[in-house]
Chain A
């Protein structure tokens, strides 16, 4: 079975630009979460979607937005890019959002975003 897929793999943008990152969850999974990981730190939670509804939002500015589509794939958008947005952006999918074993999150390969 295919795991979580993300595109693109790498991305280079300049300050002020906008970027869209894409994620497809594991087949049958209805929840997608987005995380930002900067070098030397653990991933930081950005958004969680379940059944196409936003179920959680982390401490990120309004420049960050996301959505989930009817096929459960998801997009993360970041506007007005700053140098500090350079990071590995991770998408994780789970079957559900609560409950033992069903809330286990599996990560995709990530998108490496570099802002110049």
Chain B
């Protein structure tokens, strides 16, 4: 079992819709979780970080963390074509020195 798992997609949503991206992790020692956006040929760009159970909102983005279910999600409201990218979920394992473990990424396509 991979330590961090995401559906690879592609996930296709119409412009203006809500995009829902999901991620599960296997190590209960994980304490920090991150969502990165990566455009083709570019490096990952931080969107959100979340450390506590519950929701965290930043503009059109909401991250949700449920440590009991070992589940992290990212909701993108009012999706725009410019949101089309690969979204990477990452977990920081404090018992492994704080390195990031990434999922394989979910490709999101927002259709005009």
Contact = CB atoms under 8 A, between A and B. Distances in A.
Contacts of B45: 107
Interface residues of A, number: 30
B95 to A, nearest CB: 10
Contacts, number: 68
B43 A110 contact: yes
A43 B100 contact: yes
By CB atoms of chain B within 10 A, which of A90, A94, A107 has the most? A107
Given A104-B46, A106-B46, A41 B98 contact: no
B104 A109 contact: no
A106 B47 CA distance: 10
Contacts of A94: 98
Question: Which residue, B31, B34, B43, has most C-beta atoms of chain A within 10 A?
Answer: B43
A102 to B, nearest CB: 10
Contact of A33 (B31, B42, B43, B100): B100
A110 B105 CA distance: 18
Interface of A: 31, 33, 35, 40-45, 48, 55-56, 58, 88, 90, 92, 94, 96-98, 100-101, 103-110
Given A56-B96, A109-B42, 9 more contacts: A55-B98, A56-B97, A56-B99, A97-B98, A104-B34, A105-B100, A107-B43, A107-B46, A110-B42
